[in-house]
Amino acid sequence: MKQILILSGLCALLCHTGCHPKEEHHEESSKLLVTSPLTTDTTIMREFVCQIKSIRNIELRAQEKGYLQEVLVDEGQHVRAGQLLFRIMPRLYEAELLKAEAEAQAAENRSAEHQDPGR
């Protein structure tokens, strides 16, 4: 009995799967428009962040105090020996000169008073 049931189930399965007709895929013919591409030169530009460092680096330090009034050379520019690189504001030096002259005048006045006490 089991064999008959298994055999009938197998036959039913084969009939069920074998009864469907094959579906044929038909390719549709379609017309496509074909063109020629334009040929032109294209420049591609990209910006990047970077740092440029030289092989030799010379550090400049001031021997005098003061503020820079003018920078006479650009970074990376070649310079000659003795060439003026910076100009310092003269106001500080002028003020120091006036102060020194006033102190010298005051010292002369004090020494004159000590030499000539009778006046």
The 10s digit of each residue's pLDDT in 83-100 is 998 888 888 889 999 999
Work out the average pLDDT over 9-32.
72
Report yes or no: 89 and 67 within 8 Å, Cβ to Cβ: yes
Q: Could you give phi then psi for residue 23, rounded to 5 degrees?
A: -90, 125
Instruction: Specify the pTM.
Output: 0.37
Q: Which of 85, 83, 101, 104 is nearest to 93 (CA)?
A: 101
What confidence tier does 28 reach under pLDDT thresholds 50, 70, 90?
confident
Write down the pLDDT at residue 107: 94
End-to-end CA distance of the chain: 157
